[in-house]
Structure 1
Amino acid sequence: MTHKESQKSFTLPSLQTSALLLAAGLGISALLPVYAASKVSQTASVNQKTQLISQNKKVEITLVSYAVTKAAYEKIIPQFVAKWKREKGQDVIVRQSYGGSGSQTRAVIDGLEADVVALALALDTKKIEQAGLIQAGWEKENPNNSIVTRSVVALETRAGNPKKIKTWSDLAKPGVKIVTANPKTSGGARWNFLALWGAIAKNGGNETQARNFVTQVFKNVVVLPKDARESSDAFYKKGQGDVLLNYENEVILAAQQGKTDTSYEVPATNISIDAPVAVVDKNVDKHGTRAVAEAFTKFLFTAEAQREFAKVGFRPVNSTVAKEVQSRFPKISRLYTVGDLGGWNTAQKKFFDDGAIFDKIQSGR
């Protein structure tokens, strides 16, 4: 769904009028409400961290995120709106757009004027940075390198787990039918692929062993949809496959909503699925919404917000909340990150670019 920011234009009084007002002992502010000051005047000093608040005007921001975060944000946003109203005396409207992370990324680059983006992987946020919409260094603008939620890969099976699929090695057994999205087109599927690779390479094995294992697993893949949503539909609605590689949080949320009749296992060696949040600098400066957008992103790291993420299956990044809910999640004995695999730029080139390892596995080379 595409959201367009409605914008109003305001005309400053002429210099002649201003002079008359000053002569009468009145300032321009006597006639005009106060708005974000980052680009009010070409001669004014631009302060990227400050926004003057109009006490009697609403402010609107647009959040663009990936689909499975919706349930959490529907609880978090009202809390932030109430907090801002209480502390600043201003009403905030948060427009929301949800969809596949890759599709949302393209939409923002193509003109969806997001003030805040919360996407499934840093690679997508980096693409928006490379398009000139987000300033370099955004990772340092918030706690935890701007990673706002975590999850891991779960092995979702048919009810009762008839094939006894417990861990990564079971995926390579003959006769096991696997559903996962295509990592060439799906961000979620890239996490799945890296989890499979790291199950060997980050658990005592070498890269040759890792490649052989992943090759065998993909021989068992019976359907390779373009994105995570189609992958879930193939498993849930069409009954394809014995096991679906899925985000742990999505499995938990689907179970809460009564949408599935499945079981799941979380392998003890796993990858940390780290999802970042960032302010879209070019848009907030255009809209005059920097202060509220930055306050919103910082609110996402508070205990209040992190508890809402935890309720729908995300592993909290806030240490206090993580301790509160640790019993809800299976223990991970060996957790690694995409950084341990060289970072997203390296992983993309090594595994997912045209002619890289995934293409070679698919073609049998």
Structure 2
Amino acid sequence: MFYRQLQKWMDSRFWILSHSFLFLLLASLSFSLLLPACNRYTVSPSPLPPTDEITPRRQPIELSLVSYAVTRAAYAEIIPMFKEKWHREHHQDVRIRQSYAGSSTQTRAVINGFPADVVHLALALDTNKIQEAGLIQPGWEQEVPNQGIVAHSVGAIVTRAGNPKHIRTWSDLAKPGVSVITADPKTSGIARWNFLALWGAITQTGGTETEALNFVTQVYRNVAVLAKDARESTDLFLRQNQGDVLINYENEMILSAQNGLAKNTLVIIPDVNISIDNPIAIVDKYVDRRETREVAEAFVKFLFTPEAQRAFTKVGFRPLDPIASQKFPPIKKLFNAEDLGGWNNIQDKFFKDNGIFDQIQLEIKNTGSR
């Protein structure tokens, strides 16, 4: 009895062991068969994105540009090009706050605290005033290419259609019966260039200063009203039809023609002329305070690139490239402010209180010629 029960127990244990062995064998074979299939679907790590896709985006930066009025059209094209270039190279948006007005007005605003990073003014004299206020470091002309001159213009004489007064050059503006429109050199930067163009037309062609004084006095006898600035003088001539002749920048008249405002006029570019050079500069105190020096320097440098020079040329400025300048009327005798003594001497000699311009006005008043 006992052996019979023992045999039965051993048979049951054998069955369990044999079936367990069979289960393990089948499981092992199944795993071996599945392993190659799993290897076929191994997930590879994703490649890293290109470096420029993971470059951190910098916070936007603001640049403040203060300029004299007639540059607005050029900057309307230049600024978007610079912003795109800066974003592409630095992964940062740059916002450019712009202000356009008369050069003297802009100069006073910057000196009085307007935070301009870059100034583009009508006269180096105005830039020097900002330097004297301690906002621009001495030697600013050496910190930028071409002493800060990004483009040129020259003086232009504008007559009515058909040129009824037979004006050909500066000397004709002194003829009796010719009504001249120009701005006041005491308040307008362009008017100072106009004055110097008249003065240099004599002294830079062999004439004496006495002859220059007599000639310029006669021209201003023919000026019925001195406009406060260049834009007002242009409006008096083109919109209100006052005067026989307007003296202005060449680029201003080209832009006026593009805008359809110079119809029924004739523009004359005298072949003895002054190079109207309007400098650009970085305002050191403000860029350091606002931490904008890097973008300000890049912006100024961009103005000398071919694409920016084309934008200046498109609205009437003469570019720095002599070959590109050949599309403009030639100038036989071109002089500049330095030929007349430099801006500090020019200011003291001609435009300070009781200077030559005031003496001319007093002479005209005393003789009752206006």
Same fold (TM over 0.5): yes
Q: Secondary structure of 1:313's match?
A: coil
Asked if 1:60 is matched to 2:59, the reply is: no
Partner of 2:47: none
How many Å apart are 1:54 and its aligned residue? 7.6
Change (3 A) 1:83 1:268: same
Contact 1:68 1:250 in 2 (8 A): yes
Structure 2 residue 264 is matched with structure 1 residue 264? no
Bigger Cα Rg: 2
| SS of the residue 1:213 aligns to | helix
In structure 2, what is the Cα distance between the partners aligned to 1:216 and 1:301?
40
Instruction: For 2:268, give the aligned amino acid.
Output: E
Post-superposition offset of 1:168: 0.7
Equivalent in the alignment of 2:307: 304
Matched residue, 1:326: 326
Equivalent residue number for residue 193 of structure 1: 195
- CA RMSD in angstroms, aligned pairs only: 1.3
What is the CA–CA distance in structure 1 between the aligned matches of 2:147 and 2:198, rounded to whole Å? 25
State which of 219, 233, 238 in structure 1 corresponds to 2:221: 219
In structure 2, the residue matched to 1:105 is 107
Q: SS where residue 224 of structure 1 aligns?
A: strand
In 2, the alpha carbon distance for the partners of 1:199 and 1:307 equals: 30
Aligned partner of 2:144 among 128, 142, 145: 142
Partner AA of 1:314 in structure 2 = F
Partner of 1:344: 343
Please tell me whether the aligned partners of residues 54 and 90 of structure 1 are also in contact (alpha carbons under 8 angstroms). Answer: no
Cα shift readout 1:34-80 (whole Å, capped 9, x = no counterpart)? xxxxxxxxxxxxxxxxxxx9842111101010111011001001111
Structure 1 segments unaligned to the other structure (5+ residues)? 1-52
Structure holding more helix per residue: 2
Aligned residue type for 2:134: G
Which residue is 2:41 aligned to?
none
- Structure 1, residues 107-151: CA drift from partner, whole Å, max 9, x if none? 111121111001111111111111111111110111111111210
Alpha-carbon distance between aligned partners in 1 of 2:301 and 2:158, rounded to the nearest angstrom = 33
**Could you say which residue in structure 2 is the equivalent of 1:80?**
82
Deviation at 1:187, TM superposition (A): 1.0
Match of 1:7 in 2: none
* SS of match in other structure, 2:158: strand
Quick check: 1:178–1:241 contact (8 Å CA) kept in 2?
Answer: yes
Identity among equivalent positions (%) equals 64
* 4+ runs deviating over 4 angstroms: none
Number of equivalenced pairs: 309
Partners of 1:264 and 1:257 lie apart in 2 by 15
TM-score normalised by length of structure 1: 0.83
Q: CA deviation at 1:337?
A: 0.5
TM score, norm. by length of structure 2: 0.82
Equivalent residue number for residue 288 of structure 2 = 285
Question: For residue 16 of structure 1, what is the aligned residue in structure 2?
Answer: none
Shift of 1:324: 2.7
Is 1:167–1:265's contact at 8 Å kept on the other side of the alignment? yes
> Structure 1 pair 55/162, CA: closer, same or farther in 2 (3 Å)?
same
Whether contact under 8 Å (1:180, 1:221) holds in the other structure is: yes
